[in-house]
A = this chain, B = another copy of it.
Amino acid sequence: MAGHPGRRFATRQYPCEKCPLRALDTFRDFEKQELEFVSEFKTGELAVDKGSTVLVEGNHSAHLYTVLSGWGFRYKLLPDGRRQILNFIMPGDMIGLQGSLLGEMQHSVEALSPMLLCVFERENLFELYRKHPGLAFDITWIGSREERMLDENLLSLGRRTALERAAYLLAFIHGRMESVGLNTGKPVEVPISQQHIADTLGLSLVHTNKTIRKLSDRKLITWRDRGCEIIDLSGLMHLAGWEGLNESRRPLI
C-alpha cells in the first residue's frame, strides 16, 4: 500500500487513552481494560486525501476503520453511473463493518476532506468478541445506529417532498456535527457541494439548487461558498416533521 496515491500510513500519533474524540461527552466512558484492548486492536493510522476512495464496492477489505477526523460518505452506483449517497461519515463513525462481516463490500466510501482513520484488522475482530463482550455489544450497537439513520433516510426519500427532504438533511447533518463538536464557528463548515446534496436526496442538481434557494428565501439557511449556515434549526425540523436524533451517549471503538 506504500506509495498508493491518496493514502499514506502515518506513524501513530494518537494513543487511544489520549484520543481527542474520547474526551467528548457524546461518547461513553470506557473501562481501563477495554481501552487497553482497543489500543492493541488498533494496528495503525491511515491518512487519506480529500476526494480519494477509501473503500471500493466489490472489494474484500481486510480492514475496519474508525474515523478520527475528517468527513466522508458512503455511496452506491448503478451500472450506468447514477450515484446514490447513502450516508455521511463523521468522526467517531466506523466504516467497513459490512465488508468485514458479510465479505464483499457492497458500497464505496469517499473522503470529502482529508481524513485520519484508525485501522483495525478484520481477522482480529473475533478476538474482540471473545474477550470483550461489552465491546462486541458496542459494535452491534454502532451497526444498529447506522441502521436507524438509514431508516430515517429511507422515509425521507420515499415520502418527503424535495423541500422537506432538504430541510431534513441539513438539520440531520447539523445535529450530527453538533454531537461531535464540529460546529464551533457559527458558519458551519460543511465540505459538501450541492451535487452531493442532490445525490443524497435523490434529486437532480438543478432541482436541488432551486430547493436550497427556497430554504434560503424562507430564511431557514444561507448557502455560502461550499457550505451552509443553519439559521433556523427548529424551522427546518418542523418543516421536515423530524424530531431530531436524540441519541444517548455512544461507544467509540
Q: Report A81-101 residues with CB < 8 Å from chain B CB.
A: 82-84, 86, 97-98, 101
Given contacts A126-B133, A133-B129, A159-B84, contact A151 B107 (CB under 8 A): yes
Given contacts A140-B139, A150-B154, A154-B150, contact A202 B159 (CB under 8 A): yes
Q: Report A150-165 residues with CB < 8 Å from chain B CB.
A: 150-155, 157-160
CA distance A223 to B145 in the complex (A): 37
Given contacts A136-B136, A136-B137, A144-B98, contact A80 B158 (CB under 8 A): no
Q: Do B143 and A86 have beta carbons less than 8 Å apart?
A: no
Looking at A82, A86, A133, A159, the one whose CB has the most chain B CB atoms below 10 A away is: A159
Range of interface residues on A (Cβ < 8 Å): 35 or more
Count of this chain's copies in the oligomeric assembly: 2
Residues of B within 8 Å of A134, CB to CB, are 129
Residues of B within 8 Å of A144, CB to CB, are 97-98, 101-102, 143
Q: Report A39-83 residues with CB < 8 Å from chain B CB.
A: 74, 76, 78-80, 82-83
CA distance A98 to B136 in the complex (A): 15
A interface, CB within 8 angstroms of B: 74, 76, 78-80, 82-84, 86, 97-98, 101-103, 106-107, 126, 129-130, 133-134, 136-137, 139-141, 143-148, 150-155, 157-160, 199-202, 241, 248
